[in-house]
Copies of this chain bind each other. A is one copy, B any other.
């Protein structure tokens, strides 16, 4: 059975608003799972995490503590996702080993961050590595990787395919849009590179996740 790892953008988890998108996405994950894939979905922390991190930073908490706060919130998000489908592992794993254990049931594994110093993107990449995933889908709040920041530059174009090496040098050179760091940070890229994990960056939307799994991605493909 093939494994796919999907990072779900933290922007999905705004529970003071509408949450129909959450339902749609879990329905899609359920279909993917029933089509014979092992699915790990990694929830981000989103606005709730950022608000709490801002408060704690104001109280002089250190950066690693703030990372942990984000992890805690992302785990609650993962827990809420488990209520959307009975085809899900009821435990939220706290270590890579626990992810592996949960996955042995063939149910969808929902998880949040695992360790301070790692973005949830990097965590998702590590999980893809540990589970020898066939695909890592990074579902973000933009359409993919652009030639420049699409919010500032009308002429910015979506990049259809880029190598980890090129993306890495772009991230480091700061030539790319400010948001790029969030899309794919250094550690994520290093992991994708060392284990040659096929990776796609798309917008977090049930339709695009489905497309990405079936090989008709509309976002950016990262190759080794």
Contact = CB atoms under 8 A, between A and B. Distances in A.
Interface stretch (A114-122, A134-142, A154-162): A114-122
Give the interface size bracket for A toward B. Answer: 35 or more
Contacts of A80: 52, 55-56, 59, 61, 69
A147 interface: no
A91 interface: yes
Interface in A19-64: 19, 22-23, 47-48, 51-52, 54-56, 58-64
Given A76-B69, A130-B64, A51 B16 contact: yes
Interface string A148-192: 000000000000000000001100100000000000001100110
Interface in A122-140: 122, 126, 129-132
A68 interface: yes
A14 to B, nearest CB: 9
B96 A101 contact: no
A84 interface: yes
A213 interface: no
A42 B73 CA distance: 19
B69 A79 contact: yes
Contact of A62 (B73, B117, B132): B132
In order of increasing CB-CB distance, the 6 nearest A-B pairs are A115-B115, A64-B130, A61-B83, A15-B51, A59-B83, A15-B55
Interface of A: 15-16, 19, 22-23, 47-48, 51-52, 54-56, 58-65, 68-69, 72-73, 75-76, 79-80, 83-84, 90-91, 96-97, 100-101, 104-105, 114-118, 122, 126, 129-132, 168-169, 172, 186-187, 190-191, 194-195
